[in-house]
Structure 1
Amino acid sequence: MTISAENSDRPGASAVDELYYDPYNVELNMNPYPVFARMREEAPLYYNDKHDFYALSRFDDVNKAVIDHDTFISGRGALLEIIKSGMEIPPGTLIFEDPPIHNIHRNLLSRMFTPRKVLALEPQIREFTARCLDPLVGSGRFDFVNDLGEQMPMRVIGMLLGIPEEHQRRVADHGEATLMNEQVDLLATGEVFAEFIDYRAEHPSDDIMTDLLTAEFTDETGTVRRLRRDELLMYLTVVATAGAETTTRLIGWAGKTLADYPDQRRELAENPGLIPQAIEEILRWEPPALQIARYVSRDVSYYGQTVPEGSAMLMLVGAANRDHRRFPPDGDVFDIHREQRSHMTFGAGTHFCMGNALARLEGRIALEEILKRFPEWDVDWANAAPSQTTAVRGWEAMPTFVS
């Protein structure tokens, strides 16, 4: 069943016509779940006339479509506005690439995120988190985003790359500015990393920046070579920007969600061993990115309807993550004791998020250290501020009263 998104207040409009999802509506995106629930049942293939896109909302459909990189390609962009603009994608933009070139570049960058390198960061991340939180003890207030969430992820990328701590703040500021201009600056040149690349080229060390500078690989033409400077700048920008924003939003959503469920928060404070599965449930429950966009490379059919070649398709991660078929008996229930089943927050297939283990580690450390100091909190709603971005949604400020 396909339901068109036409104006529901026109004469003679039926109740069915009122089912409408607009991915650019910031207010709707903060709580899209009633709409998503209707889409899963009434319009598992949905079409929006106004913005000219199709959408899938059931878990199995979303999961299979994300994996099918032959039908649903990334090379025209992974955001709806970029696909619709028809803009030329700069080479090396990893999240906007298809196999085989995507696999070549992904294999190179995956060396940044080996389990050994990720886990080795835990003491540094924990020490940085403590430095953020300790001055706030006794103040009665803590902002999940401004006091920790927006600082931690870019600092961690700096740690991972071996960027000196005194320069990590500048990297964090650059990432924040980049994300406030979703379309243009997402494809920024990465010059903020340039001096560190140049320094490591002259002074090799045992770090990831040196690894990336010296790694040899066979490119799509069969040539064995190293990464060019412009390629490395682009890769670092994509990795840092994509990873930082989502983790910042995760920490904000953790603050909001656990304020809404104080009994479960109390369990976590009393038993920190539950925190890893709580992070997993928060990731499922409030994914920072609600959808994955793809360009449709050939006609494909769903529920008796044909999606024509050249269309834009949204795979609704936020809807799939609450599908009762995947998360019985009710995906709209938040439960840190839920049986663990894989969700779609980090994607699937060839574009599965390389930084997923790092994001999970940051989320776990953040909650462990916050709950040690602030086992109870209430949101200061008068000063909470939703982010105005739509590609990755969440909170610009999540201030709380703590005790």
Structure 2
Amino acid sequence: MSRNDPVYWDPFDREIARDPYTVYQRLRTETPLYYNDRHDFYALSRYEDIDRGLIDWRTFSSARGPILEVIKANIEIPPGTLLMEDPPAHDIHRKLLARVFTPRRVASLEPQIRDYCTRSLDRLAGAGGFDLMTEFANEVPMRVIGMLLGIPESDQLAVRERADAKLRTEPGQQMKVSKKALMDTDLFADYIDWRAGHPSDDLMTELLRAEFTDMHGVTRTLTREEILTYVTVLAGAGNETTARLIGWLATLLAEYPDQRAELVENPRLIPNAIEETLRFEPTGHALARYVTTDVELHGAAVPAGSVMMLLVASANRDERCWSEPDRFDVHRKISYLRTFGFGPHYCLGAALARLEAKVALEEFLNRFPRWNVDRDNAALSSTSTMRGWETLPITVG
């Protein structure tokens, strides 16, 4: 696509997905309200427009899902699916899960996360190279979610594979959507039933005991089906996104070895390096919303019933907010980050994802201060909402 052609963005176009940022920049400049007639959706790319879309849930609703294909499928969404609810139901259900993601609970996981990272990386000692995603990045969030849920370590791989399979698409193809595919709760049924008679310090026990006031003003505990929905949402939500974050950290620090050397020398820079990576290469690059009422944006009418794509990755590089937005800088002051969302749907697991990435990078740099990425043999996975490495071969030393 040349500069003389009309700008075109398609979330299923593999060529665009390899480096979408030039297209995003053109969208911000040339057509801040974009319409794709092939897939029938609108898109917003400027920072302030993304913020409005994330905050104004009455106009830009999550009740039909945050994924383009899910909204188009118009399937019934089970209650308790936080990503697919609006207030007030969303707020009631969010408060229940917020009990699990308290700062104390998240911080208490650090020793276990570090222990698992240490064991994983020690296995790789002496290796000249390996696939970072398979051998490390995919493993860390899977184990952490397992710790939270109370799932035995021997069963955690099966849980992750089943959860990730629902998000997989064939390259360049749309997600195949069904209620069964989205909410595959069968895997957790036996765990819930067993945990009811064997309480522990984990999420399942917390949900079994939790009392709340529902939409009808009734104070009660969750039903078995509601608990299964919560657990299924959590099992899928944190696995792929955090793994892809670790992959992008490895990629960018290989591309900027001087900045990597600074992190080795001064590990206190690691948290800010993670923030810059979340800005520069966000795993979740777009969110979809259902437009509930006619709305005018940039002088054009968007009719009720439309799908609006909020291009978070574009907002993260909007020159109206960021100085030299296309420059990666681990010293950058980060104050407008929207990778974890904003408003009512701000990611509950953001602190946990940051902690996992911090511990993973600290332990990785301790053992492998230098590495190169084999981009020619790496495989990039991209869907309408996610973008990250499927495989990432590296050589170390």
Question: Residues 247 and 274 (structure 1 numbering): CA distance in 2 closer, same or farther, change over 3 Å?
Answer: same
Q: SS of the counterpart of 1:22?
A: coil
Equivalence for 2:34 = 46
Equivalence for 2:348 = 354
Percent identity over the alignment? Answer: 55
> d(CA) in 2 for partners of 1:274 and 1:318?
23
Equivalence for 1:369 = 363
> d(CA) in 1 for partners of 2:4 and 2:55?
31
Partner of residue 343 from structure 1, selected from 337, 343, 352: 337
Partner of residue 85 from structure 2, selected from 62, 84, 97: 97
For 1:26, the aligned partner's letter is R
Partner of residue 211 from structure 2, selected from 203, 211, 216: 216
> d(CA) in 1 for partners of 2:104 and 2:32?
41
Q: Deviations over 1:194-226 (max 9, x none)?
A: 222111111223332211111111111112111
Partner of residue 297 from structure 2, selected from 302, 305, 312: 302
Q: Offset at 1:385?
A: 1.2
**Is 1:188 matched up with 2:180?**
no
> d(CA) in 2 for partners of 1:401 and 1:360?
25
Q: Offset at 1:380?
A: 1.6
- TM-score normalized with structure 1 length: 0.93
Partner of residue 140 from structure 1, selected from 89, 103, 128: 128
Partner of residue 137 from structure 2, selected from 149, 153, 168: 149
Q: SS of the counterpart of 2:184?
A: coil
For 2:192, the aligned partner's letter is I
**Is 1:58 matched up with 2:46?**
yes
- TM-score normalized with structure 2 length: 0.94
> d(CA) in 1 for partners of 2:91 and 2:295?
25
- Which runs of 5 or more structure 1 residues have no equivalent in the other structure? 1-7, 9-13
Deviation larger for 237-246 or 198-207 = 198-207
Q: Offset at 1:15?
A: 5.5
Q: Offset at 1:168?
A: 2.5
Q: Offset at 1:388?
A: 5.1
> d(CA) in 1 for partners of 2:8 and 2:200?
54
Give the count of matched residue pairs: 390
Equivalence for 2:61 = 73
Equivalence for 1:113 = 101
> d(CA) in 2 for partners of 1:260 and 1:15?
27
> d(CA) in 1 for partners of 2:39 and 2:251?
31
Backbone CA RMSD of aligned residues: 1.7
> d(CA) in 2 for partners of 1:99 and 1:203?
34
Deviation larger for 142-151 or 56-65 = 142-151
Q: Offset at 1:338?
A: 0.6
Equivalence for 1:82 = 70
- Which runs of 5 or more structure 2 residues have no equivalent in the other structure? 170-174
Q: Offset at 1:26?
A: 3.2
Question: Residues 58 and 199 (structure 1 numbering): CA distance in 2 closer, same or farther, change over 3 Å?
Answer: same
Structure 1 stretches of 4+ with a deviation exceeding 6 A read: none
Equivalence for 2:227 = 232
Q: SS of the counterpart of 2:63?
A: coil
Q: Do the aligned residues in 2 keep the contact of 1:151 with 1:172 (CA within 8 Å)?
A: no
Equivalence for 1:199 = 194
